[in-house]
Structures are given as C-alpha cells and as structure tokens.
Amino acid sequence: MRNKQPTLAQSFAALLAAPSISAIDASQDQSNKPVLDLLCNWFGDLGFQCQQQAVANTRDKHNFVATLGQGNGGLLLAGHTDTVPFDEGQWQVDPFKLTEKDGKWYGLGSCDMKGFFALILEALKEIPLDKLQRPLHILASADEETTMNGAKAFAANAAIKPEYAIIGEPTSLRPVYMHKGHLAQGIRIVGRSGHSSDPAKGLNAIDIMHLVIGQLLKLRQHLAENYRENAFSVPYPTMNFGHIHGGDAANRICGCCDLHLDIRPLPGIALQDLELMLHQYLKPVVSQYPGAVTISTLYPGNEAFKDSADSAWSQLVASLAGNAPEVVNYATEAPYIRQLGCHTLVLGPGSIEQAHQPDEYMAQDQLKPTVELLRKLIWHACIKD
C-alpha cells in the first residue's frame, strides 16, 4: 500500500527545509542527499524506479533519477537540487522555512529551483500513471550552481533515451530554446619588482598586462565581427574585463598583475575552441615574455545551448504555455541534457529576477498554471496515442 502523498505546501516546505547549498568554498558547500532522500520516498511511493548516483569530483553530491515505464522515448523532467549560498543579514524571512505572505511563497530554492520538484509531484496526483505508453523520467541533479558536474556526469553515463526534455528553471513559464555559454578566465602576469627610479632593473607586470589587454581587445573585435545570432538582444559573443589588480605603491615597479574576464559565446562556439582562440591571440605576448604570463580557468565553464524554435515539440509547448519560444542570456544545464539526443526546452515557474536574491520567492499565481501545464506535457509526451 502506498503512503499518503504530501500536499503541495508540505512537499514545498520539506524541500526548503533540507539545505543543499553549492559553493566553491568548502566551508559553505553542502551535500544534497537530504533532498534526494525526500524525492526517493515520494516518487518511489508512486511506483517510480529510483536511483541515487554519486557524482565524481564533488563533496558527497549525488544525482537522482526516477523512471516510470519502459523503453525509449517519453519525457524527461529535469532540475537541480542545489541552491546558492545566502546572505543571512539581507533576508527578512528564514531561508529554510516556507513563509507565505502577500501571495508569495518565500524560501531559498523556492523558484531556483527545488520548488519545481514539488510541482511535478503535485501534477502526478491526477495523472493515470498506469496508462503511460512511453516512459516518464525525473532527473534531480547536483552542483548546477557551481560546476554543473551533476548534469555533465548524467549526460556522459545516461541509460535513458527520452524524446523530449523540460528543464524547470525559472522562466515565468516561457519556453527557452537557446542561450549563450560562459567561460571565465584568469590571466596573471609575474614580473620583477623594484624601485621606480630605475625601471630597467625590474619588469613591470602592468606594462605586460597592457599588451595582453590589447590582444584581448583584438579577440573581442574578431568575435563580434565573425559570429552572430540575431535572436539575442546582444547578437554577438561578449567579452568583459571584470577584475584587475596589480602593484602596491606608486614608487614601486609592479611585480604582479591579475585580470579576470568572462566570455559569453554563441551556440556553435565550443568552450575548447574559445580557449584555443584566447591562447592564440596571447601567443605574441607569451613569446615576448617567457614564463611571465599564466592563463587559467577561474571555474568550470558552460557550453552554449541551442534547440529549435520551429520543431513540433517547441511549437506544442509554446501553444500549451501560451508563450512563444525565446532566448535568454543566462546559462543552464540544457546543453548537457541535449546531449541525450532529445528535444530540449528550459521552462519553469518563477522569475529569473528572483534567482540568487535575498527573500527569494515563488508567486502563488504560478503554482496552478505550472501543475496544469506539466499534466498536459506528460499527457502529450507519455500517454497520448
């Protein structure tokens, strides 16, 4: 006999009460196992076959995969179980407690994006699961907010072959079929410090960084002139110099200078190719000053993503959601889910404007439309003849 399923508010509250912060800093990083244990109990009670898969190169993180039905095809509903850290002094409510106020459900992960799993569970309550013609899969991944190692590991080892996938990131229920990627690089120049009265006795790292920036500006121009996708509001790859620091006094030759930059490539530009371009453009400076220039990756990058706005699936989802397919500039797990060979869209409740913000919330007027939309998507992908 199956256990009684929680109400939507109960499942929502339980997910928020299970901290699952992802952070590069080990002192803030947390396992997502408590969230996965909840999902395993709930979906297992509905008859899903549930697995928890350890993710390499993480701190006790796991993916959760639940499947009902057999064979290939069907639908994958995907999301991540982790949240960003929170600034305690800026929150007016308890981040780990569901707080209802002014037509909103507040809590860390309410829209980005643990709440999505509670809405899937709610949608399944009125679906005749014994009528599935094609399988329904649920993926709850690890470490999306940092390395995306969960989605990468899942894509590399997946034993399922869905025909369609929906990633429930907060898009205000607007289907997203394309987004840019993200590459963050650090460049360090190590010169020789000395007294400013005799520059020839040192090697000024700021002078060398000046040459580096000149080459990077040439790469920026090359990217803008040779790659274009007019669907984006900024239709070319961008490069941003976000941080620079060098030296310690006006009367000392600068011995070290650091630059952090990010590049946001269009679909069709692999991160590996982008890194190669970066090295090629900096090669003249590297050759002129052997051993002085170091190029490194600040944190794992994200590939760009592109599906089709005109496919039958995209058009069906757009019709059901009442919103046309669109593009966004932020990154998601979509390029890795797309590697399964399925038609992939990013579509979920809540606004991206709430993600990573103090007092994150899910507007309650998004709840019922999301549940109804999920039921329709499951019916079309898994039940309809």
Condensed to tens digits (0 to 9), the pLDDT of residues 83-98 reads 999 988 899 999 999 9
Exposure of 302 by Cβ count < 10 A (0-12 exposed, 13-18 middle, 19+ buried)? buried
Say what percent of the chain tops pLDDT 70.
99
Amino acid at site 198: D
Average pLDDT over residues 254-281: 97
Residue 172: count other Cβ atoms within 10 Å of its Cβ. 17
Kindly give, in sequence order, each residue whose CB lies less than 8 Å from that of residue 339, ignoring residues fewer than 6 positions away: 155
* pTM for this model (two decimals): 0.91
Tokens of 74: 């069907």
Q: Name the residue among 131, 133, 107, 129 with its Cα closest to residue 120.
A: 129
Tens digits of per-residue pLDDT, 307-320? 999 999 999 999 99
Q: Is the pLDDT of residue 2 over 60?
A: no
Cα 376 from Cα 373, distance rounded (Å): 5
In this prediction, residue 5 carries a pLDDT of 87
The pLDDT of residue 53: 95
pLDDT in tens, 319-357: 999 999 999 988 999 999 999 999 999 999 999 988 889
pLDDT digits (tens, 9 = 90+) for 133-180: 999 999 999 999 999 999 999 999 999 999 999 999 999 999 999 999
What sign has the CA pseudo-torsion 331, 230, 171, 161? negative
What was the pLDDT predicted at 43?
A: 98
How far, in Å, CA of 382 to CA of 162, rounded? 10
Residue 79 has pLDDT above 50, yes or no: yes
* pLDDT value for 3: 66
Q: Which of 29, 122, 144, 360 is catalytic?
A: 144
CA distances from 209 to 184, 187, 284, 286, 350 (A): 17, 9, 13, 11, 43
Q: Per-residue pLDDT tens for 211-264?
A: 999 999 999 999 999 999 999 999 999 999 999 999 999 999 999 999 999 999
Please tell me the predicted confidence (pLDDT) of residue 329.
Answer: 87
Report pLDDT for 57.
Answer: 87
Is residue 1 very low, low, confident or very high in pLDDT (cuts 50, 70, 90)?
very low
Task: Answer yes or no: 303 catalytic.
Answer: no
pLDDT digits (tens, 9 = 90+) for 44-57: 999 999 999 999 98
CA-to-CA distance for 253 and 192, rounded, in angstroms?
7
Kindly tell me the number of DSSP H helices and DSSP E strands found in the chain. Answer: 9, 18
What is the distance between the alpha carbons of residues 112 and 146, in angstroms, rounded to a whole number?
14
d(CA 48, CA 140): 14
Task: Render pLDDT for 17-74 as a digit per residue (tens, 0 to 9).
Answer: 999 999 988 999 999 999 999 999 999 999 999 999 999 989 999 999 999 999 999 9
What structural domains does the chain harbor? 8-179+304-383 (3.40.630.10), 182-302 (3.30.70.360)
Say how many C-beta atoms besides its own lie within 10 A of residue 362's C-beta.
Answer: 28
Opening angle at CA 86, ends 26 and 333, nearest 5? 75
The predicted model gives 259-279 an average pLDDT of 97
From 82, 122, 307, 359, active-site residue: 82
In 3D space, the residue among 171, 253, 146, 242 whose CA is nearest the CA of residue 207 turns out to be: 253
Whether 37 is a known active-site residue: answer no
Q: Rounded mean pLDDT of the chain?
A: 96
The 10s digit of each residue's pLDDT in 354-382 is 888 999 999 999 999 999 999 999 999 99
What pLDDT does 291 receive? 96
- Strand-pair category, 256-264 with 238-246: antiparallel
Query: Distances from the Cα of 256 to the Cαs of 185, 187, 209, 294, in angstroms?
Result: 17, 11, 9, 11
